Amino acid sequence: MGGINLTIIHTGTLNEHHIPYVVKVVQGEGSGELLSLQESVRSGLPEPASLQPLSEEEFDYILKGNGLILGVYVEGCLVAARAVLFPPVDNNHLGKDVAIPRSEWSNVVYQETSFVSEKVRGNGLQKLLGVLIMEELTRSRADIDYICCTVAPFNIPSLKDKFVQGLMIGGLKRKYGGSWRYIFVKNLKREFEILPPFKKVAMEEFQEQQDLLSAGWMGVSLTEDDRGWKLIFGKKRC
C-alpha cells in the first residue's frame, strides 16, 4: 500500500457534543477494536442480518496490505470505521455480477463494511469516511477503475450512502449463503450514462428489478411514498 498516509488524515469536532475527533488509517494490530465496534453496532440494529460482518481473519487480511481501513477516534477510542478491500481475482468476484470484463477485475476495489457507534451518530461520519477513504485510495492507487459493493435490500442508510457516493445498482443476486444483495458499481474513469425514461419499482419486487437489470437498466436512486420504499431505474447507454 505504498504511498498511503499512516498518520492523522483529518480532524474535526462532533456537531452534537463539541468533542474533537481524528481520522486515521487503522494499523495492522487494529482488528480487535474493529471487531468490538462492529459487534456493538450490529447488535443494536433493528435487523442485524442487514449488516454483513467481517471476521477477524477478514480484517487482518485487509490490514496486511490488501485494502485500507479508516477509523474515527474520540479520546483515543474507535467510534466509526470504513474499509475497502483489494479483492482476489476469482470466480466469486463481484465484477462478474455487474458485467465488468474479467480482464479488468484486478482494477476493482470493494467497499466493505462501514459502521458508526450509536454514541456519535448524527455527525455525518459515515459520509465523511466515504469521501476520505476514496481520496486516500485514488491518491495512492492510480490503477483502480471501479468500486463495487453489496447492500442488503431495505438497509436504507447503506443504500442512501451508496447512491450519495455515485454508485449504482448493477445486479441483484443471492450472496453470502443465500441472502439477497444489491450489487453496486461505479466506474471511476468514466461515468455511466443513464437515459430516460425512468421506472419506479417497489423494493420488494425482486423479479421486476432483476428483469430490468438483465435488460441493461441500473438502479440510480431511492425514494419513499405512502406505500413504502421504491428504487428508481434508468436505462444505461450501451
Domain-located, residue 114? yes
The string of pLDDT tens digits covering residues 84-110 is 999 999 999 999 999 999 999 999 999
The tally of domains found in the chain comes to 1
CA distance 28 to 206: 40
- The DSSP-derived string for 59-88 is HHHIIIIIEEEEEEEETTEEEEEEEEE---
Which position has the grid cell 450489487?
Answer: 183
As a whole-number percent, the residues of the chain with pLDDT over 90 amount to 71
pLDDT bucket at 45, cuts 50 / 70 / 90: confident
> Which CATH number covers residue 89?
3.40.630.30
Task: Give me the domain span that covers residue 152.
Answer: 8-191
As a whole-number percent, the residues of the chain with pLDDT over 70 amount to 95
CA distance 182 to 224: 18
Domain-located, residue 225? no
Domain-located, residue 131? yes
Domain-located, residue 118? yes
Beta bridge partners of 168: 185
pLDDT of residue 49: 66
Rounded to two decimals, what is the model's pTM?
0.86
Identify which has the larger pLDDT, 29 or 56: 56
* 3-class SS of residue 17: coil
The string of pLDDT tens digits covering residues 193-228 is 999 999 999 999 999 999 999 999 999 999 999 999
Domain-located, residue 49? yes
pLDDT of residue 238: 66
Identify which has the larger pLDDT, 164 or 169: 169
Cβ–Cβ under 8 Å, residues 181 and 150: yes
Domain-located, residue 207? no
